[in-house]
Structure 1
Amino acid sequence: MPQVSGGKPVDVIRVAGGRSFVGTDRPEISQDGEGPEREVTLADFGLEAQTVTVARFAAFVAATGYVTEAERFGWSAVFFGDEAHLKSAAAIGSNLPWWHRIDEANWRQPEGVGSTIHDRLDHPVTQVSWADANAFASWVGGRLPSEAEWEHAARGGARKRRFPWGEQEPDDQTILANIWQGQFPNNNSLVDGFERTAPARSFQPSELGFYNMAGNVWEWTRDTFRVRSLSKQARLRNGQALAHSEKVLKGGSFLCHISYCYRYRIAARMALSPDSAASNAGFRVAFDL
């Protein structure tokens, strides 16, 4: 579908570039390629303060007629943690029994038929693929951030910190982001007040003014997923596709917990096929300056 420009950036924060780094020498999940720390040099760039909301994505669709990949496929991935859903829906894979293939799940009805976006227009849009995110970014004159840009913005520059707010570890009582509270995956205590996504401008912003760069939704970047710390043989053993077709997502989501998915740290990352979508994945837009 031809791209139609006309959208406008929202709350773009200028981030000074220069010498920086990506990754960490203190990896928690080494098979994800969190380390080693690598030096990079970045140009100045802009990054929106928050993830793209449902309302903004709806405006994009209304203006362009864009149809997302999940809508074209007719299904998408949805998290279910209670026993009723576990019995009534087909699990996508045996390794992740809480993820289910739900017919007609898409950005308009993120959990499938019967779900709605009307009460979460200010929440991050979800059920969008890498291509969908790129299409929106082009519409507003931007692009997806690189992994290095995303980390640099989340850290507030070339400084070493585990989370956007510093080193303090969130837990079931210390609520600093929208992550899982309770025992994953069957007991969500909802201490933070959110069963799924939170509004895009929830919680205290970082010192540069960015919201929710830890938790809430995974964020697509423009980069291809690679694990540089592993040999070719090790990548094969770990199931890393040598074609490197998967893309990098950053930030973790409302499903992350230190006991299961300790990926709401800045250096953490996830790989996902670019045509995939999920009920905990969104994006924010970067700009060349």
Structure 2
Amino acid sequence: MSKRIRARVWLVLGILIGLGVTAGVAASLDVLPGQRGKPDKVLAVLGDGKKGPEGMAWIPGGEFAMGSDARMSQPNERPAHKVRLSGFWMDTHDVTNQEFARFVAATGYVTTAERKPRWEDLQVQLPPGTPRPDDSKLVPGAMVFVGTASEVSLRDFSQWWRYVPGADWRHPQGPQSNIIGKEDHPVVQVSYEDAQAYAKWAGKRLPTEAEWEFAARGGLEQATYVWGNELAPNGRPMANIWDTRESQPFPVVTDEKIPVGTTPVGTYAPNNYGLYDMAGNVWQWTGDWYRADAFRIEAQYRQPPLDPAGPAQSFDPDDPGVPSAAPKRVTRGGSFLCSDTYCISYRTSARRGTDPMNSMSHLGFRTVMTQAQWQLAQANKHSVAVR
């Protein structure tokens, strides 16, 4: 068994072992976010609770080139292909600890990391024939980035990840940690199922992968990053990523003066649509199943697809030791662990598939809603007030 296969199996087995914009602005496909190639500055249109949902930004509909053929692009990002989208609202920032806490207080929801893992959820991510462990091994917990004391080979990510019993959204690093003072940080240690539950409660949904990329680009057609083509313009950091020029080599964490982890939402400048942290800080769940070849399939359509919702099932032949049809959802945006030597997924077109039941210390989400959903919510609120 290769080192990479052993690393992947180790991660899963770690669980077993350790365990206008209201009615005046329509979602028009004719509204394009700036000139192609040299976009004008797109002014953010933000909801205020009256002319749009508070805390959300209006993302105009349009046609754009999704994916990338650039030198740094990976096979699963190719080819760049045309997609059409209707307009929608998107959270200006990732859902925060404070916002998720309100949801839990209102509903009593228990996240997947707080529940005993189910063997059927783990089994589908493991090589066929993997024996079922004793139930005593299945304990609530989540994957935690622990780093290393010195430089290591970047082929074996089991060296800097651990399954930590007792880790959950309130205790992202394990039972001894907490989120006191981090109310405005993005909530992490939430699975796809958890994100879906929150979105339903809030009257919203997770973005499709196409919506996510369109919004992240902010009108910058085929730019490498959310803000343009230069990683750090004028030497200024633009996202919470692992900057190897200023900090230690990834994944070394011995210098306590160099913080590793999430930053408050809105720490860095927003993109042209008024969206924060569409690159770095935490990976973000989308609603699509992950297929490594999804873009190649979409590129064959005679007409650019309108509002694509992604493939009907997962397919990933590039993850050794994991069945190619194992369930995976698309995650986007990269995180504080992405660096120029590892991952580089803070690029706008970067994508990956993630086990939907997985909870990790660098994985969060944000939500979207259509104009029709917003108007219906307003109408329902009015009818309740009248009664």
Same fold (TM over 0.5): yes
Alpha carbons of 1:22 and 1:64: their partners in 2 closer, same or farther (altered >3 Å)?
Answer: same
Q: Which deviates more, 177-186 or 209-218?
A: 177-186
Percent identity between the two aligned chains? 39
The amino acid across from 1:126 in the alignment is V
- Is residue 2:203 matched to residue 1:141? yes
Structure with greater helix percent: 2
The amino acid across from 1:259 in the alignment is T
- Is residue 2:274 matched to residue 1:209? yes
Larger radius of gyration: 2
Residue of 313, 325, 346 corresponding to 1:264: 346
Aligned partner of 2:172 in structure 1 is: 110
Kindly state the Cα deviation for residue 29 of structure 1 after the two structures are TM-superposed: 5.0
Structure with greater strand percent: 1
Distance (Å, rounded) in 2 between the aligned partners of 1:142 and 1:25: 33
RMSD of aligned C-alpha atoms? 2.6
Note the residue ranges of structure 2 that are not aligned, 5 or more in a row. Answer: 1-48, 117-139, 298-314, 372-387
Alpha carbons of 1:225 and 1:264: their partners in 2 closer, same or farther (altered >3 Å)?
Answer: same
Distance (Å, rounded) in 2 between the aligned partners of 1:107 and 1:213: 21
Matches within 5 A, 1:199-238: 199-228=264-293, 236=317, 238=319
Distance (Å, rounded) in 1 between the aligned partners of 2:291 and 2:366: 21
Residue of 87, 90, 100 corresponding to 1:47: 90
Q: How many residues align?
A: 270
Distance (Å, rounded) in 1 between the aligned partners of 2:280 and 2:337: 8
Alpha carbons of 1:184 and 1:58: their partners in 2 closer, same or farther (altered >3 Å)?
Answer: same
Note the residue ranges of structure 1 that are not aligned, 5 or more in a row. Answer: 1-7, 87-92
Matches within 5 A, 1:10-159: 10-26=54-70, 28-31=72-75, 33-73=76-116, 74-83=140-149, 94-157=156-219, 159=221
Distance (Å, rounded) in 1 between the aligned partners of 2:326 and 2:82: 22
1:96 match: secondary structure: helix
Contact 1:125 1:282 in 2 (8 A): yes
Distance (Å, rounded) in 1 between the aligned partners of 2:230 and 2:254: 22
Contact 2:189 2:359 in 1 (8 A): yes
Kindly state the Cα deviation for residue 36 of structure 1 after the two structures are TM-superposed: 0.9
Alpha carbons of 1:183 and 1:137: their partners in 2 closer, same or farther (altered >3 Å)?
Answer: same
Contact 1:22 1:147 in 2 (8 A): no
What TM-score, normalized by structure 1, do the two folds share?
0.86
Alpha carbons of 1:107 and 1:20: their partners in 2 closer, same or farther (altered >3 Å)?
Answer: same
Contact 1:19 1:158 in 2 (8 A): no
Alpha carbons of 1:117 and 1:212: their partners in 2 closer, same or farther (altered >3 Å)?
Answer: same
